[in-house]
């Protein structure tokens, strides 16, 4: 990669390190992903091969684009780091702007038969002009009409759907939708909704807040490997799971609602402009 100049390290994952770099010929800023090769004889890690394969197939304004095998478009920051620097929560219209972009990106993936399986703030990139892009497709998989068995050990713990925590191996788009809901709540409060320290602790926090499900309100619950089948107070608690929602209906209703372009006080500023320092409307565009 002699044609690129490394500037600084951005992030590090299980299989590689991402660097901010400059292309020497065009002076364009890009993101370079360098693999961790523990054993060169074993070749490229399969997760990396799958990620590159999927990224070459997807093209959407709210999904990180790949230019070459390990060269990606550079985006200034991830949502997690950005939220950590915030002194005040997002305004409602700012949350809606981010959520519309997130849902558009997830809808595109699902429409193209791709499960992301690791949606979380640190995998959502945010440009200085307010464009949100979904990144890190390392755990993504192609799915089909018929459910098939996958590993339940996907999605970071705080954003993992209850059925995965209970050992489900057959799942579909609803696990991404649960993550989207968790991100939605976190954008509003600046605090993750469920902060378990283990799988048991995580499911306990979910059940404590939402109630313990039963077969009546969650058909198929009793068939989950780790489902609790004892007495519960679920009849007195309204238990709402993203898994119960039809994802395409959720997408449609959310995307059909117009995005606000002014603050509650009526000032003519675009959503996120106050946080990203882009006061001009021409600088902030929600991809259509």
In the residue annotation, 2 being an active-site residue is answered as no
Active-site hit among 118, 136, 176, 270: 118
> DSSP assignment of the chain, as one string?
-TTEEEEEEEEE-SSEEEEEEEETTT--EEEEEEE--S-GGG-S-HHHHHHHHHHHH---TTB--BSSSSEEE--SEEHHHHHHH-SSPPPHHHHHHHHHHHHHHHHHHHHTTEE-----GGGEEE-TTS-EEE---TT-EE--SS--B--S--S-GGG--HHHHTT--B--THHHHHHHHHHHHHHHHSS-S---SSHHHHHHHHHHHH----TTTSTTGGGSTT---S---GGGS----GGGS-HHHHHHHHHHSPPP-S-TT-----TTHHHHT--SGGG-----
**What are the catalytic residues?**
118
């Amino acid at each position: 990669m002699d044609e690129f100049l490394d500037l600084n390290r951005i992030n590090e994952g299980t299989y590689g390190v991402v660097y901010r770099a400059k292309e020497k010929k065009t002076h364009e800023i890009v993101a370079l992903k360098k693999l961790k090769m523990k054993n060169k004889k074993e070749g490229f890690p399969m997760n990396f091969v799958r990620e590159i394969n999927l990224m070459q197939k997807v093209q959407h304004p709210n999904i990180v684009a790949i230019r070459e095998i390990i060269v990606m478009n550079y985006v200034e920051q991830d949502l997690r780091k950005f939220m950590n620097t915030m002194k005040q929560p997002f305004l409602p219209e700012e949350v809606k702007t981010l959520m519309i972009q997130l849902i558009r990106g997830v809808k595109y993936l699902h429409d193209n038969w791709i499960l992301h399986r690791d949606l979380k703030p640190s995998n959502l990139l945010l440009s200085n002009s307010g464009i949100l892009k979904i990144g890190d497709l390392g755990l993504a998989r192609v799915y089909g009409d018929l459910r098939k068995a996958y590993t339940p050990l996907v999605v970071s713990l705080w954003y993992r759907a209850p059925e995965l925590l209970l050992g489900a191996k057959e799942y579909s788009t609803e696990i991404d939708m649960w993550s989207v809901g968790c991100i939605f709540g976190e954008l509003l409060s600046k605090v993750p909704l469920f902060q378990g320290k283990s799988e048991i602790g995580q499911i306990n926090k979910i059940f404590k807040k939402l109630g313990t499900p039963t077969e009546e309100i969650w058909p198929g619950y009793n068939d989950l490997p780790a489902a609790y089948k004892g007495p519960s107070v679920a009849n007195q608690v309204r238990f709402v799971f993203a898994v119960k929602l039809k994802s395409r209906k959720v997408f449609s209703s959310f995307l059909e609602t117009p995005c606000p372009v002014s603050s509650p006080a009526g000032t003519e500023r675009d959503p996120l402009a106050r946080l990203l320092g882009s006061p001009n409307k021409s600088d902030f565009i929600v991809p259509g």
